[in-house]
């Protein structure tokens, strides 16, 4: 089974900050094939440009892929965009697409610390 990682969870893995993860999040990460939405990759770059993280998006993803086997989801964007139309509980475009990506892949789990996502996405894990 596949599970998705939210942006901050992926950054914490990259930075070795596993102590920030809940026990349930660690279990989900250990027991599933891991994916990120292409929107997470874009958010990495957004965070880099705003000096919130120091590493380039491509380098960060390459490390996650090589170290943890994290893949980039290939669900076609039209399917994700169609699913995102139902994600009306947030105006954040990153969160909308990241949640829609997981939803469009058989309502896959999404590991996230984001409280709003956890309140609204039934398969959110924390």
Domain ranges of the chain: 2-125
Indicate the pLDDT class of residue 96, thresholds 50, 70 and 90: very high
Q: What pTM was computed for the model? A: 0.95
For residues 125 and 32, the answer to whether their CB atoms sit within 8 Å is no
Question: What is the reported pLDDT for 2?
Answer: 96
Question: What is the reported pLDDT for 1?
Answer: 86
Mean pLDDT of the chain: 97
| Residue 23, H or E segment | helix 23-31
Q: Which fold has domain 2-125?
A: Rossmann fold (3.40.50)
Question: 8-60, pLDDT tens digit by residue?
Answer: 999 999 999 999 999 999 999 999 999 999 999 999 999 999 999 999 999 99
For residues 103 and 75, the answer to whether their CB atoms sit within 8 Å is no
Is the per-residue pLDDT at 79 higher than 90?
yes
Indicate the pLDDT class of residue 109, thresholds 50, 70 and 90: very high
Q: CA–CA separation, 5 vs 61, rounded Å?
A: 12
User: How far, rounded to the nearest angstrom, does the alpha carbon of residue 11 sit from its chain's CA centroid?
Assistant: 10
Ramachandran sector of residue 69 (left: φ over 0; alpha: ψ -120 to 50; beta: rest)? left
Contacts of 112 (CB under 8 A, 6+ apart): 5, 6, 8, 9, 118, 121, 124, 125, 126
């Amino acid at each position: 089974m596949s599970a998705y990682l939210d942006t901050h969870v992926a950054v914490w893995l990259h930075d070795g900050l596993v102590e920030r993860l809940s026990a349930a999040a660690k279990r989900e990460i250990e027991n599933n094939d891991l994916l990120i939405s292409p929107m997470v990759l874009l958010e990495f770059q957004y965070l880099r440009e705003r000096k919130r993280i120091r590493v380039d998006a491509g380098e960060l993803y390459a490390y996650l892929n090589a170290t943890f086997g994290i893949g980039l989801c290939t669900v076609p964007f039209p399917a994700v965009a169609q699913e995102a139309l139902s994600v009306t509980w947030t105006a954040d475009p990153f969160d909308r697409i990241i949640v829609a990506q997981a939803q469009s892949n058989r309502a896959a789990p999404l590991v996230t610390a984001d409280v709003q996502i956890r309140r609204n996405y039934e398969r959110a894990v924390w």
